[in-house]
Amino acid sequence: MTLREIKPGNRGFLYLNSHPGGCAAVVDELWERTPAPTHTAPADTAPADTARTGPAAADPAAADGPVALIIGSSAGYGLAATVAALRTYGMRGLGIAFEAPETERRTASAGWYRTARAAELAGTDGDFAFLNADAFSAAAKDEALDHLATRYGKVDYLVYSVAAPRRTDPGTGEVHHSVIKPLGSAYRAKTLQFDGDTPLVGSLELAPAADPERDATVQVMGGADWKLWIDALTDRGLVRDGFHTVALTYVGSDLTAPIYRAGTIGAAKRHLEDTARRLQQDLAPLGGRAHTVVAGAAVTQASTAIPSIALYTSLLHAVLGDGFQSTAQQATALWQQLTGAAPLQLDEEQRIRLDGWEMDDKVQAAVHERWAAATTDTLPELADTAWFRAQVGRLYGWDVPGTDYTAPAETTVPWPTVD
């Protein structure tokens, strides 16, 4: 047992320490905001292209419910998808995340503590395990598939939600590093900064990426690893009839397009979307499907690293208020579509869309107007910066109501055992 007095030790949007109690409370909130089991099977009137033939078509609360593999289960949309899979559908399966344990100088990572709490909420009657491993590695794939093959036989769903700064190619051993840069020309834009607790509108200029930087980013954040996972499953005969795999992507506003969809990240996301189309062809003979999922804006550890996203998201939340959809709401909508409880909402590129609330024309027009008028002086009336700052803190277990940050906290929390 290790009781510590913890301080955030943050530098801007990066926190050096996570709070175990706050991280657990965040997962508790996510659990409570996710619908409980309905004991209702998907409607028989679902369109033919969304009908399920596997166990997901049965009662979602059934003890022998469907099997899900969720890669990137400890944060953001991956965590929300995991909680919804457990809470609403009683799914069995495996979550994979790569998290750091406690050291003498620092607490464990926030994802470590969130995973421990998610496993507790799954309960002793559940059948969902968590693996702490580098999902990019061949060893992680072998260990995960061995567990799945021994425990369940076949898999119904694979949700791929990985955000990482680097990837080692398991075939060549080459280490690729991602960059967040524009392509073609320099990027100049407003940014949200904090001088202590005071929000400021600053400016940023980034030089365009070189071709090797773009290619490395595609190797890290594109669809290469997703395809390796699907290939490994199919090679082992672990794809059940009706299998569906999805990978998370984002489109966003034209305000952020130069640094996102038209930048190095966008190149990676286009590769991810191309990969979905190739996987769709590969899986069709097996009765499977593959799609990318365009999620809406969210404050995540990955998104806070992208210039201008903080200002954009603060303005968006000020426009939408309660209409800003949480990751829990979006994950619920995703699982409804995957299980056939609701029809797939596909765009012309065959991507599942969860971002209609963000991309509504009136919403975007209002955000554009505020963006143009945003200065340090006008921020208080235009942007919800206090909300954004609190959301960043919550990523690490800070700024969570009801958590006592003055008391020493138990920081030594074991990773859930993988049987």
Beta bridge partners of 157: 68, 244
Query: How does the average pLDDT of the chain come out, rounded?
Result: 91
Q: How confident is the model at residue 419 (pLDDT cuts 50, 70, 90)?
A: confident
pLDDT of 228: 98
Residue 14 DSSP class: B
Integer CA distances (angstroms), 25 to 76, 238, 405, 406, 414, in order: 15, 35, 12, 16, 17
- According to DSSP, the β-strands at 198-206 and 187-195 are antiparallel
CA distance 68 to 384: 36
Average pLDDT on 173-191 reads 95
Residue 175: count other Cβ atoms within 10 Å of its Cβ: 12
| Residues labelled catalytic | 260
| pLDDT classification of 64: cutoffs 50, 70, 90 | confident
Q: In this predicted model, what pLDDT tens digit does every residue of 336-357 receive, in sequence order?
A: 999 999 999 999 999 999 999 9
Sorted by where each starts, the structural domains of the chain and their CATH numbers stand as 8-410 (3.40.50.720)
Tell me, rounded to whole angstroms, the distance of Cα 105 from its chain centroid: 28
Structure pTM? Answer: 0.92
Q: pLDDT by residue (tens digit) across 228-268?
A: 999 999 999 999 999 999 999 999 999 999 999 999 999 99
| 22-56 tens-digit pLDDT | 999 999 999 999 998 864 443 333 333 333 333 33
Burial 225-236 (b: 16+ CB within 10 A, else e): bbbbbbeebbeb
The pLDDT value recorded for residue 1 is 62
* Burial class for 100, CB neighbours closer than 10 Å (0-12, 13-18, 19+): middle
Pairing of strands 239-250, 155-160: parallel
Residue 226 has pLDDT above 60, yes or no: yes
pLDDT at 50: 36
Closest among 85, 94, 120 to 334, alpha carbons compared: 85
pLDDT at 157 > cutoff 80 = yes
- Rounded CA gap, 15 and 38, in Å? 38
The alpha carbon dihedral of 360, 361, 367, 371 has a sign of: positive
Judge residue 158's burial from the number of C-beta atoms within 10 Å of its C-beta, 0-12 exposed, 13-18 middle, 19 or more buried.
buried
DSSP 1: -
DSSP per-residue codes, 86-146: HHTT--EEEEEE--PPP-SSSPPPHHHHHHHHHHHHH-TT--EEEEES-TTSHHHHHHHHH
CA 238 – CA 155 distance, rounded (Å)? 6
Bridge partner list, 71: 96, 160
Confidence band of 148 (pLDDT split at 50, 70, 90): very high
When pLDDT is cut at 50, 70 and 90, the band that residue 304 belongs to is confident
